[in-house]
Amino acid sequence: MSRALRLALLLIVVGCIYLFLAHPYWFPSGVSASSASIDYQFRIAFWIFGALFVVGHLILIFVLSKKPQTGSKISHGSWRLEVTWTLAVTIIFFWFNISGERLWSKIMPSEKKAGDIEVEVTGAQFQWYFRYPGADGVFGRTDVQKFAKPDEGNPLGIDPGDPSGRDDILSTSMVVPAGHTVQLRLRAHDVIHSLFIPAMRFKQDTVPGMEIHSHFTPTQIGNYEIACAELCGMGHYRMRAVVRVLSEEEFQRWIKAQETATASH
Amino acid sequence: MPIISDRVEVERKPKLGGGGPGKIPHRRGYGGGDDGDHGNSGDFHSREQRMRRYRIGMTLCIVSVTAVFVLLTMVYVFRMGKGRFDEDTRRWVRDWIPLTLPYLQLWINSLVLLLSSLTLELARRSMARKEEFAAMGIVPPRFGRDLPWLGITVFLGFCFLAGQVLVWNILRAQGAFLASNPSRSLFYILTGTHAVHLVGGLVVLLYAVAGRLLAVRFESQRIAVEVTGWYWHYLAFLWFGIFALVHFARG
Amino acid sequence: MITPSIGSTGSTEKSFLRRHFFTTDHKAIGRGYFFLSLAAVLVGAWLSLLMRIHLVWPRATLPFLDEIKPEDYLAHLTMHGTLMVFFVLSTVPQAGFGTFFLPLQLGASNMAFPRLTAIGYWTALTSFLVLMAAFVVPGGPSGAGWTQYPPLSALASAGPGQGLGTDLWLISIGLFCLSSLMSAVGFVATTTRHRAPGMTWLRMPLTCWSWFVTSILILLAFGILLAAVVLLMLDRHAGTSFFIPGGLLISGKAINHSGGSPLMWQHLFWFFGHPEVYIAILPAMGVTSHLLSVFARKPVFGYKAMVGATLAIGALGFMVWGHHMFVSGMNPYAGFAFSTLTTAIAVPSAIKTFNWVATLYGGRIRYATPLLFSAGFVSLFITGGLTGPILAQPALDVYLHDTYFVVAHFHLIMAMAGVFAIFSATYFWFPKMFGRMMNERLGRWHFWVTLFGAYTTFMPMHLLGIAGHPRRYSELSGVQYVAAMAPLQKFVTVAAIVTLLGQIIFLVNLFRSMLNGPVADANPWECSTLEWNSQISSEGFSNLQPHVNHGPYEYNISGAEKDFVMQDAPAS
Ligand code: HEA
Ligand code: HEA
Ligand code: CUA
Ligand SMILES: [Cu+2]
């Protein structure tokens, strides 16, 4: 029985190691400014805790195979050992913790720079809307309850009476230029949703009744999927959108096209 | 017994893991969930045990009730300070409409509650005096001077509740309904929760009052009164806490 | 004057009703909780099966059931989580085994407040029935997840099941809070007042310690949840706006609430919710510590360290709730504090792990089924726990939050580890609870299936999470990169089905042994704690007075004639 148990544990350890080395599924390649450092932190994490997992189980297997001690040597515990391993894990955990805090303080704070792209993201059951301030760089005021008419292309309820809203550009996919920081205004007008862009290593809930500011910096041209990561109802699983990262000039062209389109309305 | 335990004391040297040094065995607690009822109910010692047990229980209830009220207070303060997010100006604006409290009524209620606390204490004392008789199995006599304090307490308790209802009516007459503004909601929540807990206390007191009819053992009555006493005083204290909150943090 | 007053056991009553329904005997109540949890776990596990099947074969129709719709999936999910967390893991290890064995292990004849304990049980049962009722009401059960975030949970128009189903969920949980509070009061009072003479704090078995600390957590946490639930109810029906903000437009209808904060619910819920997960695991830890010592025939390694760690976990448990809210919109700077505190709480857990391992070291190990499951617990706790500190980092959790990585984390450390402790406790205490032994061979088979089942089911979920697969997706077709993960999801489903089939072995063993297993003698495991005292009558200890002279884990002490010393053996 003892041998069987040890064998089973060994099998499990080997199996888990294999699973993570083979990893049939893994991170999508990171395409935002901060993804490199985040992936690095992940690598550290998996190596440290993977090692602890293996060591832990090997020790478990070892103690299961140990010969019984005899009466007098039976141990009730030893403060020396307690202190040693407590210090050991404390050092490991907090070293890891501090490196994580460093990373967080690097990627989290947002200061607006010239050339940043402003996008307002609105989550609604079960659709994402992306709004650009347009030529005047000002978002028009909205009142969903009064003006929202999804069928007439005004799902966000932009106030027709507000001039700064006339040139706002509305899109169902997020179009951004590579290399510019995207400053997001996240909102929702029914339930909580969560804007999840795996390729950007980005996630942020959109909470009704408040406006959350966040940011990321796409670095590579391409299309990347957005998924909704907060349970928002039966359509949660299909609340999908796409980030289209364009080159500088393509983006300008797109903006122009949109502006003329909205103007013609 | 003590001799053995003394030997335990000297012989077993402190050991980590083995359960530590054997202290002098605790004599408190016969280890019964029900001592006091199993044969030896007459014995003073086990009566003490029951009393202690219920005191502990009550302390625990108070701890958990406190947690709830601390939380509600935090919600109150947070909600008052934070306000709501205004879509147009895009900043947080205070939407807290101060409540005009019916102070007269509130003070009367406070007074009533305070009085009830007092009478309950008197009830407790008079019962404590009768204890010995009960122990001897003699039906305790009525001392001339002591009034039916317990009854009076219950009465005052109901008066307080009635007073609270009055307060709520006055507010509703002002058009201050539960849903009309966070200040209203939280006032009703705080006072309401307090009232509910008070009702709990009243039920136990009623049990003690009706004890004679229900043929509840005197000693159980006494415990009920003693322990509810703590709870009752605590609720009075809590009431003034709430009063202070809604007064000073009117907004 | 002689009518029984508050506190009599009533187990002396002979009438059937008295014995089985109005009994205040802690043993009967403990057994009651056991069967309640068994019922809950069967429903919960069945729901998980339906979820798994729907997830990978959305169009599959099972016999007797028609096709599962996405909203059904969410309903199943919510009920699964609720049943498993509240009615299984917060019920059987604490209220179940605790009510049964706490008084016995302390040398008391009953819980301190037998009637309160009994009322607690009936409340829990009612709460369970109320929750089950949601299956038959129009719209079905709530689909807002076990965390019930508003506005989704606050507005009936937000989806099917958000009407009556959610009301029932809230009522049921409210009742459950009351029941837990009632039983917790009894636990603490019993532990503080009714230890037999000589049962000093440091002679209490570690099971009692963890039941004690857990009860304190319950007293502080469940009141909070109760308050939160009441507030949410008011938002739903009395028009208040604690959690519902203004200007909402749901399925074309304007909602006229104003100024509530959805985040406030999250704070309230997780301030309860994190202590809750330790409420779920602490008794399991206690059982494991106890059993490892018994079956390694060796004192628990570092008893005092264990007690200290238990207390530390209890205290820290209230300071880390924010780690569930890193991307919720809470002030991102709070992330620093919560991250550090969460890392801190991992340390006492690690201390426990080390002590378990050290307890096994050099023991004369007896490989009975309870030991196997306890060893499995240690393995699963390490595996599931180690992903915790990773999730505790805002920078990493931003990516992992609400993905299957989290699902993997809590199924390994909570679900599987917790269930393993339940199993080991069942196999271990079965002789005391039902007077018979369970079958060892079936027990072993059950262990092997469940151990490998647990790992094969939940290990791959890490990869799903790492690849960005969000939680609570009722179908994979909605998002392309998620759809690509179907093969691995299929694998998980198959593994889950096998694991669940493996549980049949357990159920067969359980009921067969209950009816005609070999009759157990007083102390089949040669365990030193009081509940195995051969003199216990159906009255518990009420008639004899155990006098405790020894620590709880005196195995293979040099100089003793047997290889263990009963706690109430005369002092050497
Ligand atoms: C029993 C339940 C339980 C337990 C014990 C834990 C334990 C821990 N949990 Fe977990 N957790 C949950 C249940 C539990 N969790 C649940 C249910 C959720 C999801 C809720 C939901 O959203 O639905 C969750 C979610 C969750 C999150 C949020 C994830 C997210 O939603 O984004 C976080 C983040 O910090 C977290 C952290 C931790 C940590 C740090 C621990 C630590 O306590 C872990 C400590 C343990 C160890 C560190 C292992 C010790 C072993 C070693 C150190 C090995 C070394 C040994 C040798 C070498 C011999 N948990
Ligand atoms: C104790 C907690 C527990 C347990 C045991 C389980 C068991 C299982 N869980 Fe569960 N699960 C949760 C707690 C638990 N889960 C929670 C909290 C959630 C989150 C809900 C939410 O998001 O809102 C969740 C969500 C969840 C999901 C995520 C769905 C999603 O996000 O889209 C999935 C998906 O596969 C899943 C699968 C399973 C499976 C296959 C099993 C099992 O079937 C595995 C095999 C089962 C067993 C081994 C149990 C048998 C045990 C016994 C028979 C005990 C005997 C009892 C007595 C003796 C009294 N669960
Ligand atoms: Cu939107 Cu989930
Ligand atoms: Cu947590």
Could you write out the DSSP letters of every residue in A74-93?
-----HHHHHHHHHHHHHHH
Asked if pLDDT for residue C57 goes beyond 80, the answer is yes
Nearest to C346 by CA among C389, C382, C381: C389
Residue C380 half-sphere exposure, CB side, CA atoms within 13 Å? 33
8 Å CB contact between C324 and C273: yes
Name the DSSP class of A112: -
Span B213-249, pLDDT tens digits: 776 677 778 888 889 999 999 999 999 999 999 999 8
Say whether C194 and B18 touch across the interface (CB within 8 A): no
Nearest CB to C361 within list A66, A194, A225: A66
Name the DSSP class of B11: H
Q: Best mutation site among B6, B34, B75, B93 for testing chain C: the one with the most C CBs within 10 Å?
A: B34
**Ligand 1 center–CA C80 separation, angstroms:** 20
Could you write out the DSSP letters of every residue in C464-492?
HHHTT-BSS-S-STTSHHHHTTHHHHHHH
Q: What is the mean pLDDT of residues B179-189?
A: 91
Task: Report the pLDDT value the prediction gives residue B21, as an integer from 0 to 100.
Answer: 24
Is the CB of B64 inside 8 Å of chain C's CB atoms?
yes
Mean pLDDT across chain B: 78
Nearest to C391 by CA among A42, A197, A231, A50: A42
Asked if pLDDT for residue B12 goes beyond 50, the answer is no
Say whether B18 and C303 touch across the interface (CB within 8 A): yes
3-state secondary structure of A152: helix
Per-residue pLDDT tens digits of chain A, which is 265 residues long: 788 999 999 999 999 999 999 999 999 999 999 999 999 999 999 999 999 999 999 999 999 987 777 666 677 778 888 999 999 999 999 999 999 999 999 998 888 888 899 999 999 998 999 999 988 888 988 888 888 877 777 888 888 888 888 888 999 999 999 999 999 999 998 999 999 999 999 999 999 999 999 999 999 999 999 999 999 998 999 999 999 999 999 999 999 888 888 776 6
Strand partners, A175: A244
Phi, psi dihedral angles at A244 (to 5 degrees): -105, 110
Q: What is the mean pLDDT of residues C561-567?
A: 80
What are the respective helix, strand and coil percentages of chain B, to the nearest 5? 70, 0, 30
Asked if pLDDT for residue C448 goes beyond 60, the answer is yes
Asked if pLDDT for residue B43 goes beyond 70, the answer is no
Minimum Cα–Cα distance from C340: chain A residue: A97
Task: Report the pLDDT value the prediction gives residue C2, as an integer from 0 to 100.
Answer: 31
Strand partners, A215: A183
3-state secondary structure of A195: strand
Task: Report the pLDDT value the prediction gives residue A71, as an integer from 0 to 100.
Answer: 61
Task: Report the pLDDT value the prediction gives residue B142, as an integer from 0 to 100.
Answer: 62
Residue A213 is which amino acid? H
d(CA B209, CA A215): 67
Q: What is the mean pLDDT of residues B44-62?
A: 82
Say whether A237 and C460 touch across the interface (CB within 8 A): no
CB-ligand 3 contact for A193 (6 Å cutoff): yes
Contacts of C396 in chain A (CB under 8 A): 38, 41-42, 45, 100
Closest-lying ligand 3 atom to the alpha carbon of residue A192 = 1
Task: Report the pLDDT value the prediction gives residue A164, as an integer from 0 to 100.
Answer: 85
Task: Report the pLDDT value the prediction gives residue B5, as an integer from 0 to 100.
Answer: 34
Asked if pLDDT for residue C231 goes beyond 70, the answer is yes
**Ligand 2 center–CA C499 separation, angstroms:** 11
Task: Report the pLDDT value the prediction gives residue B82, as an integer from 0 to 100.
Answer: 85
Q: Residues near C145 by Cβ (< 8 Å), separated by ≥ 6?
A: A231, C74, C77, C78, C81, C472
Task: Report the pLDDT value the prediction gives residue C111, as an integer from 0 to 100.
Answer: 84
8 Å CB contact between C534 and C523: yes
Mean pLDDT across chain C: 89
Contacts of B33 in chain C (CB under 8 A): 7, 9, 26, 103, 108-114, 190, 194, 540
Asked if pLDDT for residue C205 goes beyond 80, the answer is yes
Task: Report the pLDDT value the prediction gives residue C323, as an integer from 0 to 100.
Answer: 96
Residue C327 is which amino acid? V
Structure confidence at residue C222 as a pLDDT band (50, 70, 90): very high
Q: What is the mean pLDDT of residues B78-88?
A: 85
Asked if pLDDT for residue C3 goes beyond 70, the answer is no
Instruction: Report the range of poorest mean pLDDT among A39-48, B46-55, B172-181.
Output: B46-55
Pairing of strands A169-171, A174-177: unpaired
Percent of chain C whose predicted confidence (pLDDT) is above 70: 93
Chain C residues 432-461 with CB within 8 Å of chain A: 444, 448, 451-452, 455, 459-460
Both tokens assigned to B199: 């009702």
Task: Report the pLDDT value the prediction gives residue B14, as an integer from 0 to 100.
Answer: 31
Task: Report the pLDDT value the prediction gives residue B220, as an integer from 0 to 100.
Answer: 79
Task: Report the pLDDT value the prediction gives residue B209, as an integer from 0 to 100.
Answer: 83
Both tokens assigned to C485: 């993960």
Residue B35 is which amino acid? D
